[in-house]
């Protein structure tokens, strides 16, 4: 087993964890490694009913879990499937089923098998989109989704090591045909990533180092933003003087406003960057607008954010806070 994996997962060994297992090489390796360290884990497998071999994979995962004496729960993605954005919709459905299970069974941690190659590919995908700090810091080893803590113990382990472990130990795994379809940006990046090292001398280790450096900045930003927001957020929304936003550097300004809108509007995902930038320009003077299921109003030097449809009276909000 990889030592970085061991160092990370031992911090959670006494915790009950759910593990998403697809039957691919990454999740099969992680299943065995968690079993080998004696982790208290339950396997969650989602059959999306999208490929002919899906039922075979489901049966295989169930059988392996029986051999390892690991509880296994199977979920099926039923109903109509969208014609566009199928991959994203499948991912959303998978996470919802798994996080719902965690909530229903009082499991605090959901473990996924993302590894360092996934991390690099995510970084390069976001780089191609012109992402900022949060996109370029890629995935975190510890994060949260739908109130469940997500753990990624393989994030510093390369795919080659994972594959070698499975092959050396005769662990069968399945290969998704989508992983070779270059219609998907991630696959195209995966198949051509070697050019960075071969032609430009940009190694995987240097990319991962850059991601880690960005991650530290992101952690500081998250702590700072959280502390600032606690000063102005209320059960009904948020109200603050304009300097709360405009005295900050632009990156912090955008993150503050975006997080406030996400919290007040109870949105699952953050507002798009362009929309935030446009809103900040409008908020430089008196205005009233809607964004992210929120109504945002500026009057003189005060800014109010409330759920869309709620009243935007500054006087009454001010009186309530006294």
pLDDT band at 186 (very low <50, low <70, confident <90, very high): confident
Mean pLDDT of the chain: 90
Helical spans, DSSP H, in 231-272: 243-246, 250-264
- Looking at residue 1, its pLDDT comes to 82
Tokens found for residue 310: 């709620």
Residue 265, phi then psi, degrees to nearest 5: -80, -5
* 172 phi-psi bin (left φ>0, alpha ψ -120 to 50, beta other): beta
Write the pLDDT tens digit of every residue in 129-144.
Answer: 888 888 899 899 999 9
pLDDT higher than 90, residue 206:
yes
* Nearest one of 6, 318, 319, 304 to 154, comparing CA atoms: 6
Contact between 204 and 158 under an 8 Å Cβ cutoff? The reply is yes
Helical spans, DSSP H, in 231-249: 243-246
Domain 3-200, what architecture?
3-Layer(aba) Sandwich (3.40)
pLDDT band at 31 (very low <50, low <70, confident <90, very high): very high
Tell me what percent of the residues of the chain surpass a pLDDT of 90: 70
- Looking at residue 313, its pLDDT comes to 82
* Nearest one of 274, 266, 314 to 293, comparing CA atoms: 266
- Looking at residue 179, its pLDDT comes to 66
Contact between 105 and 14 under an 8 Å Cβ cutoff? The reply is no
Distance between CA 55 and CA 60 in Å, rounded?
Answer: 9
Evaluate if pTM is beyond 0.75: yes
pLDDT band at 322 (very low <50, low <70, confident <90, very high): very low
Distance between CA 307 and CA 293 in Å, rounded?
Answer: 6
pLDDT band at 317 (very low <50, low <70, confident <90, very high): low
The b/e string for 296-311 (b: 16+ C-beta within 10 A; e otherwise) is bbbeeebbbbbeeeee
- Looking at residue 253, its pLDDT comes to 93
Q: Is 251 helix (H, G, I), strand (E, B) or coil?
A: helix
* Nearest one of 255, 232, 246 to 306, comparing CA atoms: 232
pLDDT higher than 80, residue 261:
yes
pLDDT higher than 90, residue 24:
yes
- Looking at residue 316, its pLDDT comes to 62
- Looking at residue 285, its pLDDT comes to 95
Domain ranges of the chain: 3-200, 231-321
CATH no. of 231-321: 3.30.465.60
Beta pairing partners, 297: 288, 304
Write the pLDDT tens digit of every residue in 99-138.
Answer: 999 999 999 999 999 999 999 999 999 998 888 888 899 8
């Amino acid at each position: 087993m990889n030592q970085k994996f061991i160092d990370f997962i031992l911090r959670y060994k006494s915790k009950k964890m759910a593990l998403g297992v697809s039957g691919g090489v990454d999740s099969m390796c992680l299943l065995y490694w968690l079993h080998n360290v004696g982790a208290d884990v339950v396997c969650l497998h989602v059959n999306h009913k999208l490929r002919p071999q899906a039922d075979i994979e489901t049966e295989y995962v169930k059988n392996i879990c029986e051999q390892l004496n690991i509880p296994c729960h199977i979920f099926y993605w039923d109903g109509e499937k969208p014609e566009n954005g199928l991959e994203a919709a499948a991912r959303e459905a998978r996470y919802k089923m798994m996080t719902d299970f965690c909530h229903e069974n009082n499991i605090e941690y959901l473990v996924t098998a993302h590894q360092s190659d996934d991390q690099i590919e995510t970084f390069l995908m976001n780089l191609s989109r012109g992402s900022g700090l949060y996109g370029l810091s890629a995935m975190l080893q510890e994060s949260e989704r739908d109130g469940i803590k997500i753990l990624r113990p393989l994030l510093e382990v390369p795919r080659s090591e994972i594959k070698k472990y499975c092959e050396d130990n005769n662990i069968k795994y399945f290969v998704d045909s989508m992983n070779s379809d270059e219609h998907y940006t991630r696959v195209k990046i995966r198949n051509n990533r070697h050019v960075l090292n071969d032609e430009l001398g940009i190694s995987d280790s240097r990319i991962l180092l850059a991601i880690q450096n960005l991650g530290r900045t992101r952690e500081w930003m998250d702590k700072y933003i959280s502390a600032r927001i606690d000063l102005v957020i209320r059960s009904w929304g948020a109200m603050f003087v304009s300097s709360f936003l405009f005295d900050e550097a632009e990156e912090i300004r955008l993150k503050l406003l975006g997080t406030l809108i996400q919290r007040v509007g109870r949105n699952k995902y953050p507002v798009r960057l362009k929309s935030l930038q446009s809103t900040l320009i409008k908020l430089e003077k008196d205005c009233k607008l809607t964004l992210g299921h929120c109504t945002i109003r500026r009057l003189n030097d005060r800014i109010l954010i409330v759920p869309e449809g709620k009243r935007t009276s500054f006087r009454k909000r001010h009186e309530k806070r006294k």
